[in-house]
Amino acid sequence: MEHEEQLMERCRSGDKDAFFQLVEPLLGRAYNASVAILRQRHMAEDAVQNALLEAYQAIMTGKQIRNFRAWFNHLAACRAMDLARRRAKQVSQLGEYDETELVDDDDSPAEVLLKKEQESELLHQVMSLDINYRSVIILYYFQELSIEEIADVLQMKKGTVKSRLHTARIRLSQMTPPSLQKKVMEC
Protein backbone atom coordinates (compact mmCIF):
# COMPACT_ATOMS: atom_id res chain seq x y z
CA MET A 1 0.00 0.00 0.00
CA GLU A 2 2.84 2.33 0.86
CA HIS A 3 4.35 1.57 -2.51
CA GLU A 4 1.07 2.59 -4.16
CA GLU A 5 1.12 5.90 -2.34
CA GLN A 6 4.70 6.54 -3.41
CA LEU A 7 3.83 5.87 -7.03
CA MET A 8 0.80 8.16 -6.86
CA GLU A 9 2.98 10.87 -5.40
CA ARG A 10 5.49 10.38 -8.21
CA CYS A 11 2.63 10.74 -10.71
CA ARG A 12 1.67 14.05 -9.14
CA SER A 13 5.24 15.27 -9.34
CA GLY A 14 5.29 14.65 -13.09
CA ASP A 15 6.88 11.21 -13.35
CA LYS A 16 5.10 9.79 -16.41
CA ASP A 17 6.42 6.27 -15.89
CA ALA A 18 5.03 6.05 -12.38
CA PHE A 19 1.42 5.68 -13.46
CA PHE A 20 2.22 2.67 -15.61
CA GLN A 21 4.14 1.09 -12.76
CA LEU A 22 1.09 1.65 -10.57
CA VAL A 23 -1.50 0.17 -12.90
CA GLU A 24 0.49 -2.47 -14.75
CA PRO A 25 -0.08 -5.19 -12.11
CA LEU A 26 -3.80 -4.41 -12.18
CA LEU A 27 -4.39 -4.40 -15.91
CA GLY A 28 -4.74 -8.15 -16.28
CA ARG A 29 -7.45 -8.61 -13.72
CA ALA A 30 -9.34 -5.48 -14.74
CA TYR A 31 -9.24 -6.43 -18.41
CA ASN A 32 -10.09 -10.07 -17.89
CA ALA A 33 -13.01 -9.25 -15.63
CA SER A 34 -14.28 -6.82 -18.26
CA VAL A 35 -13.94 -9.44 -20.99
CA ALA A 36 -15.87 -11.89 -18.87
CA ILE A 37 -18.62 -9.36 -18.16
CA LEU A 38 -18.89 -7.92 -21.65
CA ARG A 39 -17.91 -11.01 -23.66
CA GLN A 40 -16.29 -8.69 -26.16
CA ARG A 41 -12.63 -7.81 -26.04
CA HIS A 42 -12.79 -4.44 -27.82
CA MET A 43 -15.38 -3.14 -25.39
CA ALA A 44 -13.46 -4.62 -22.49
CA GLU A 45 -10.38 -2.73 -23.59
CA ASP A 46 -12.47 0.40 -23.91
CA ALA A 47 -13.79 -0.04 -20.37
CA VAL A 48 -10.30 -0.39 -18.92
CA GLN A 49 -9.05 2.57 -20.95
CA ASN A 50 -11.81 4.70 -19.49
CA ALA A 51 -10.94 3.50 -16.00
CA LEU A 52 -7.25 4.29 -16.60
CA LEU A 53 -8.01 7.84 -17.70
CA GLU A 54 -10.32 8.41 -14.78
CA ALA A 55 -7.81 6.93 -12.34
CA TYR A 56 -5.04 9.17 -13.60
CA GLN A 57 -7.25 12.21 -13.37
CA ALA A 58 -8.24 11.28 -9.84
CA ILE A 59 -4.59 11.00 -8.83
CA MET A 60 -3.60 14.24 -10.50
CA THR A 61 -6.43 16.19 -8.92
CA GLY A 62 -5.31 15.05 -5.48
CA LYS A 63 -8.02 12.55 -4.68
CA GLN A 64 -7.24 10.55 -1.56
CA ILE A 65 -7.29 6.89 -2.52
CA ARG A 66 -6.58 4.65 0.43
CA ASN A 67 -6.28 1.34 -1.37
CA PHE A 68 -5.59 1.94 -5.05
CA ARG A 69 -5.86 -1.71 -6.08
CA ALA A 70 -9.33 -2.13 -4.63
CA TRP A 71 -10.42 1.29 -5.83
CA PHE A 72 -9.22 0.65 -9.37
CA ASN A 73 -10.86 -2.77 -9.53
CA HIS A 74 -14.11 -1.16 -8.45
CA LEU A 75 -13.71 1.64 -11.00
CA ALA A 76 -12.94 -0.74 -13.87
CA ALA A 77 -15.99 -2.82 -12.99
CA CYS A 78 -18.15 0.31 -13.02
CA ARG A 79 -16.90 1.28 -16.45
CA ALA A 80 -17.45 -2.24 -17.81
CA MET A 81 -21.03 -2.12 -16.60
CA ASP A 82 -21.46 1.35 -18.11
CA LEU A 83 -20.62 -0.11 -21.49
CA ALA A 84 -22.80 -3.14 -20.87
CA ARG A 85 -25.75 -0.84 -20.18
CA ARG A 86 -24.99 1.33 -23.18
CA ARG A 87 -24.82 -1.71 -25.42
CA ALA A 88 -28.00 -3.13 -23.96
CA LYS A 89 -29.67 0.18 -24.71
CA GLN A 90 -28.42 0.04 -28.28
CA VAL A 91 -29.52 -3.56 -28.69
CA SER A 92 -33.04 -2.77 -27.63
CA GLN A 93 -34.19 0.78 -27.13
CA LEU A 94 -37.38 -0.46 -25.60
CA GLY A 95 -36.09 -3.57 -23.92
CA GLU A 96 -35.56 -3.74 -20.21
CA TYR A 97 -31.89 -3.80 -19.38
CA ASP A 98 -32.32 -6.44 -16.74
CA GLU A 99 -33.87 -8.78 -19.26
CA THR A 100 -31.68 -7.90 -22.20
CA GLU A 101 -28.89 -10.35 -22.85
CA LEU A 102 -26.00 -8.63 -24.48
CA VAL A 103 -24.98 -9.89 -27.87
CA ASP A 104 -21.53 -10.04 -29.35
CA ASP A 105 -21.16 -7.93 -32.44
CA ASP A 106 -18.27 -8.31 -34.82
CA ASP A 107 -16.13 -10.09 -32.32
CA SER A 108 -15.65 -13.75 -31.77
CA PRO A 109 -18.15 -15.40 -29.46
CA ALA A 110 -17.29 -15.81 -25.85
CA GLU A 111 -16.36 -19.42 -26.21
CA VAL A 112 -13.68 -18.50 -28.70
CA LEU A 113 -12.64 -15.30 -26.98
CA LEU A 114 -12.05 -16.97 -23.72
CA LYS A 115 -10.40 -20.09 -24.95
CA LYS A 116 -6.89 -20.12 -23.69
CA GLU A 117 -4.05 -22.51 -23.37
CA GLN A 118 -5.87 -24.82 -21.00
CA GLU A 119 -9.62 -25.24 -21.16
CA SER A 120 -11.68 -24.51 -18.08
CA GLU A 121 -15.05 -26.16 -17.85
CA LEU A 122 -15.95 -23.94 -14.95
CA LEU A 123 -15.17 -20.77 -16.86
CA HIS A 124 -17.18 -22.09 -19.75
CA GLN A 125 -20.16 -22.58 -17.46
CA VAL A 126 -19.82 -19.12 -15.95
CA MET A 127 -19.70 -17.59 -19.40
CA SER A 128 -22.89 -19.36 -20.36
CA LEU A 129 -24.81 -17.48 -17.65
CA ASP A 130 -26.65 -14.35 -18.73
CA ILE A 131 -25.10 -11.05 -17.76
CA ASN A 132 -27.18 -10.58 -14.63
CA TYR A 133 -25.69 -13.65 -13.01
CA ARG A 134 -22.36 -13.70 -14.81
CA SER A 135 -21.46 -10.18 -13.71
CA VAL A 136 -22.23 -10.94 -10.07
CA ILE A 137 -20.12 -14.10 -10.16
CA ILE A 138 -17.19 -12.34 -11.85
CA LEU A 139 -17.26 -9.36 -9.52
CA TYR A 140 -17.61 -11.47 -6.38
CA TYR A 141 -15.26 -14.35 -7.05
CA PHE A 142 -12.79 -12.91 -9.53
CA GLN A 143 -12.63 -9.22 -8.68
CA GLU A 144 -13.31 -10.03 -5.02
CA LEU A 145 -15.60 -7.07 -4.53
CA SER A 146 -17.85 -7.02 -1.48
CA ILE A 147 -21.62 -7.30 -1.71
CA GLU A 148 -21.85 -3.57 -1.01
CA GLU A 149 -19.35 -2.76 -3.74
CA ILE A 150 -21.15 -4.96 -6.24
CA ALA A 151 -24.40 -3.21 -5.35
CA ASP A 152 -22.69 0.08 -6.20
CA VAL A 153 -21.32 -1.21 -9.47
CA LEU A 154 -24.57 -2.77 -10.61
CA GLN A 155 -26.70 0.03 -9.15
CA MET A 156 -28.98 -2.31 -7.30
CA LYS A 157 -29.85 -3.24 -3.75
CA LYS A 158 -27.56 -5.40 -1.65
CA GLY A 159 -30.40 -7.84 -1.27
CA THR A 160 -30.72 -8.16 -5.02
CA VAL A 161 -27.00 -8.85 -5.30
CA LYS A 162 -27.23 -11.56 -2.67
CA SER A 163 -30.24 -13.04 -4.39
CA ARG A 164 -28.52 -13.11 -7.76
CA LEU A 165 -25.38 -14.58 -6.28
CA HIS A 166 -27.46 -17.29 -4.65
CA THR A 167 -29.30 -18.06 -7.87
CA ALA A 168 -26.08 -18.03 -9.89
CA ARG A 169 -24.48 -20.54 -7.54
CA ILE A 170 -27.48 -22.82 -7.87
CA ARG A 171 -27.47 -22.56 -11.65
CA LEU A 172 -23.76 -23.27 -11.83
CA SER A 173 -24.10 -26.15 -9.46
CA GLN A 174 -26.89 -27.60 -11.57
CA MET A 175 -25.03 -27.33 -14.82
CA THR A 176 -21.58 -28.23 -13.56
CA PRO A 177 -20.55 -31.27 -15.57
CA PRO A 178 -19.90 -34.56 -13.78
CA SER A 179 -16.13 -34.29 -14.32
CA LEU A 180 -15.96 -30.98 -12.50
CA GLN A 181 -18.32 -32.09 -9.76
CA LYS A 182 -15.97 -34.96 -9.10
CA LYS A 183 -13.04 -32.59 -9.03
CA VAL A 184 -14.81 -30.34 -6.58
CA MET A 185 -15.84 -33.22 -4.38
CA GLU A 186 -12.26 -34.43 -4.15
CA CYS A 187 -11.07 -31.10 -2.76
Partner 1 sequence: MLNRDQEVKWKEELQQSLDALPVPSSLIQFAKEVPTKYEETRVVEIPQARRKKRKIAYKVAAAGVILVATSLGAMRVSPTFAEFVKQIPGFTLAESVIEQLFGRDGVDNAKSHGYQPFEPVIQQFNDVKVSISDVYLTSDRLIYRTIITSDNIKQHIFKREDGVSFLDRNADSYWISVVDFNDGANSAESSGGIYDDEKTKEPFLMDNHSIKLSPDEVTAFIDKHPKMLNFQIKINEKDRNSAESYRMQVPFDSTQLAKDKLIPLNYQIDVSGDPDLKALTVGQLTITPTDTYLDVTTGQGANYYLRFVGTENDSYIMDDKGKKYPLYIDDTQNIYEHGPDVVNGNKLTFMSSPYFDNDVKRLTLHLNEVHLTEKMPGGSFTFKLGEKLPKTVAYKGKQLTITGAYYDDVYLVLKIKKDPSDPARTGIRFAIPPQLMKPTKSDPELDRNGGIDGGEVRVINNETDHYTARIHAPKLDTYQIEMYRENSLVSLKKDIVVDLKR
Binders of partner 1 among 83-122, rule CB under 8 A? 85, 89, 93-94, 96-98, 106, 108, 112-118, 120, 122
Residue 140 CB, nearest approach to partner 1 (Å): 9
Are the C-beta atoms of residues 114 and 125 closer than 8 Å to each other? no
Smaller CB separation from partner 1, 3 or 115: 115
Residue 137 CB, nearest approach to partner 1 (Å): 8
Positions in 4-43 near partner 1 (CB under 8 A): 11, 16, 19-20, 23-24, 27-29, 31-33, 35-36, 41-43
DSSP string covering the chain: -HHHHHHHHHHHTT-HHHHHHHHHHHHHHHHHHHHHHHS-HHHHHHHHHHHHHHHHHHHHTT---S-HHHHHHHHHHHHHHHHHHHHHHHH-SSS-GGG------SSPPHHHHT--SS--HHHHHHHHS-HHHHHHHIIIIIS---HHHHHHHHTS-HHHHHHHHHHHHHHHHHH--HHHHHHHHH-
56 counts as binding partner 1 under rule CB under 8 A: yes
Residue 1 CB, nearest approach to partner 1 (Å): 14
168 counts as binding partner 1 under rule CB under 8 A: no
Which of 9, 103, 158, 175 is the binder for partner 1 (CB under 8 A)? 158
187 counts as binding partner 1 under rule CB under 8 A: yes
Smaller CB separation from partner 1, 101 or 172: 172
1 counts as binding partner 1 under rule CB under 8 A: no
